[in-house]
C-alpha cells in the first residue's frame, strides 16, 4: 500500500468507533515486524522504543542512537505492509529536533508517530522508581505543532501525567491542550496494576480525538471490554512489549534445555524449522531472481 493510503487507512481505523479498537503490536526488528504482519488480525506495527532498546540490551532511556532507531524502523517497513506507528519518545530533544526528525520517519514509510511529554533524556514509564519529569504544556504544544508542520503522518501526543503521579485532572488538561496544538490522537499511559485509573480517564475524556492505550500493566481487559467500558473512545490498543518478552522466554527455555540435555536433539521439535526461517528471509523471492537473472 502507498504511504499516503496507509496513513489515511490508519486515521479512519482509529476514529471508526466500531466496538473493535485497532490493535498494534510491538516489534523490534524486521523479523518480528514480519511475524506480526503474518498473524492475521493486527492493524499496525508498534516500533517500540522499549523493544528496540531491549534488543540492543540497553535501557529505554534515550540511550539508543536515534539513527539506529530510524534505520530499524525503516527496515521494518521494508519487509511487510502493515502501517508502522513509530515511538519517537520525546522527539530526541526540543521542537527543533522534532522538526528535523519527523520527516525522516515519513521518508521511512511510517504512518504515525508518538511523541511523549517527558523531558529529554527520558526514562521508561514502566521502570519502578523511574525519573518521570514532564516538560511544560506550552513546550510540548510547540513539539506537536512542529511535528504537524513537518509531515502528513498521524501525530499521536502521549501524556505521562498519570505515570508521573500528577492525577487525572492534569492528564485531561494536558490532553486537551495537545489536541488544540494539532494532535490527531492522545495516548494516555498508566502503570497501575488495575485498569481503574485508565478507565476513569477515558470516561472523563471529552472525546474530541481518539484515545490510545498501552495496557501492559493492567492486562485484565479484553479488547472488546476496553471498547465497551470506554464508550469506544479508545481507537487504538498497543501491545507494548509482547514480541520481545515472548522471544526472551523462548530463547531462555531452549538454551536451558540444550544445557540440561547436553545436546540439541531434544529442542528440535520445539523450535521453528530452518525452512520457516528461509521463508521469513524471503527465499521464494530470491529463487525467482535466480530463475530470471542468474546465467
Ligand atoms: C514502548 O513500548 O516503548 C512504550 C510503551 O513506550 S512503555 O514501555 O509502556 O512505556
Ligand atoms: Mg517507548
pLDDT 10s digits, 81-123: 999 999 999 999 999 999 999 999 999 999 999 999 999 999 9
* 239 phi/psi in degrees, rounded to 5: -85, 100
Residues 138 and 231 placed together within one structural domain of the fold: yes
Q: Which atom of ligand 1 is nearest to the CA of 241?
A: 2
pTM score: 0.97
Domain count, the chain: 2
Give residue 218's pLDDT.
Answer: 98
Query: Quick check: 1 pLDDT over 80?
Result: no
**What span, in angstroms and rounded, lies between the C-alpha atoms of 24 and 110?**
13
Whether the link from the prior residue into 121 is cis, omega within 30° of 0, is yes
Residues 66 and 207 placed together within one structural domain of the fold: yes
**pLDDT bracket for residue 208 (50, 70, 90):** confident
Domain span holding position 234: 3-241
- In short, whether 132's Cβ falls inside 6 Å of ligand 1 is no
Give residue 67's pLDDT.
Answer: 96
Q: What percent of the chain has pLDDT over 70?
A: 100
Residues 185 and 266 placed together within one structural domain of the fold: no
Residues 157 and 271 placed together within one structural domain of the fold: no
Residues 33 and 158 placed together within one structural domain of the fold: yes
Terminal-to-terminal C-alpha distance of the chain: 33
Give residue for cell 526461517: 277
pLDDT 10s digits, 182-194: 999 999 999 999 9
Give residue 41's pLDDT.
Answer: 95
Residues 124 and 176 placed together within one structural domain of the fold: yes
Ligand 1 centroid–CA 192 distance in Å is 14
Question: In whole angstroms, how far apart are CA 88 and each of 44, 224, 283?
Answer: 16, 28, 32
Closest Cα to residue 49, out of 23, 33, 72, 83? 72
- In short, whether 62's Cβ falls inside 6 Å of ligand 1 is no
Closest Cα to residue 25, out of 41, 11, 13? 41
Ligand 2 centroid–CA 293 distance in Å is 43
Residue ranges of alpha helices (H) inside 120-241 are: 137-150, 168-180, 196-204, 223-229
Residues 162 and 265 placed together within one structural domain of the fold: no
Whole-number average pLDDT of the chain: 97
Among protein residues, the one whose CA lies closest to atom 7 of ligand 1: 125
Q: How many CB atoms lie within 10 A of CB 241?
A: 21
Among protein residues, the one whose CA lies closest to atom 5 of ligand 1: 240
Residues 186 and 268 placed together within one structural domain of the fold: no
Residues 174 and 287 placed together within one structural domain of the fold: no
Question: In whole angstroms, how far apart are CA 86 and each of 57, 176, 221, 255, 280?
Answer: 19, 22, 25, 32, 22
Residues 172 and 265 placed together within one structural domain of the fold: no
Residues 262 and 191 placed together within one structural domain of the fold: no
pLDDT 10s digits, 234-281: 999 999 999 999 999 999 999 999 999 999 999 999 999 999 999 999
Give the CATH number of the domain where residue 228 resides. 3.20.20.60
Query: Quick check: 196 pLDDT over 80?
Result: yes
pLDDT 10s digits, 138-167: 999 999 999 999 999 999 999 999 999 999
Residues 35 and 91 placed together within one structural domain of the fold: yes
Amino acid at each position: 500500500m502507498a504511504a499516503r493510503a496507509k496513513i489515511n487507512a490508519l486515521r479512519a481505523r482509529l476514529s471508526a468507533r466500531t466496538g473493535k479498537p485497532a490493535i498494534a503490536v510491538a516489534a523490534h526488528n524486521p523479523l518480528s515486524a514480519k511475524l506480526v504482519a503474518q498473524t492475521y488480525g493486527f492493524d499496525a506495527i508498534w516500533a517500540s522504543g522499549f523493544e528496540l532498546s531491549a534488543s540492543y540490551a540497553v535501557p529505554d532511556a534515550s540511550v539508543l542512537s536515534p539513527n539506529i532507531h530510524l534505520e530499524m524502523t525503516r527496515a521494518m517497513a521494508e519487509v511487510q505492509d502493515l502501517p508502522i506507528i513509530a515511538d519517537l519518545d520525546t522527539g530526541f530533544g526540543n521542537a527543533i529536533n522534532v522538526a528535523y526528525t519527523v520527516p525522516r520517519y515519513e521518508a521511512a514509510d511510517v504512518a504515525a508517530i508518538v511523541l511523549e511529554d517527558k523531558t529529554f533524556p527520558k526514562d521508561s514509564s514502566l521502570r519502578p522508581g523511574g525519573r518521570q519529569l514532564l516538560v511544560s504544556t506550552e513546550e510540548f504544544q510547540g513539539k506537536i505543532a512542529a511535528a504537524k508542520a513537518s509531515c502528513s503522518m498521524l501525530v499521536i501526543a502521549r501524556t505521562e501525567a498519570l505515570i508521573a503521579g500528577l492525577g487525572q485532572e492534569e492528564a485531561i488538561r494536558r490532553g486537551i491542550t495537545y489536541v488544540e496544538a494539532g494532535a490527531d490522537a492522545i495516548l494516555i499511559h498508566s502503570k497501575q496494576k488495575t485498569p481503574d485509573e485508565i478507565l476513569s480517564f477515558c470516561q472523563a475524556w471529552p472525546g474530541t480525538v481518539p484515545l490510545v492505550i498501552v495496557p501492559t500493566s493492567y492486562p485484565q481487559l479484553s479488547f472488546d471490554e476496553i471498547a465497551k467500558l470506554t464508550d469506544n473512545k479508545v481507537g487504538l490498543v498497543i501491545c507494548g512489549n509482547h514480541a520481545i518478552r515472548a522471544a526472551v522466554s523462548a530463547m531462555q527455555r531452549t538454551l536451558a534445555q540444550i544445557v540440561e540435555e547436553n545436546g540439541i536433539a531434544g529442542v528440535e521439535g520445539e523450535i521453528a524449522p530452518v525452512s520457516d526461517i528461509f521463508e521469513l528471509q524471503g527465499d521464494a523471492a530470491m529463487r525467482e531472481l535466480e530463475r530470471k537473472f542468474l546465467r
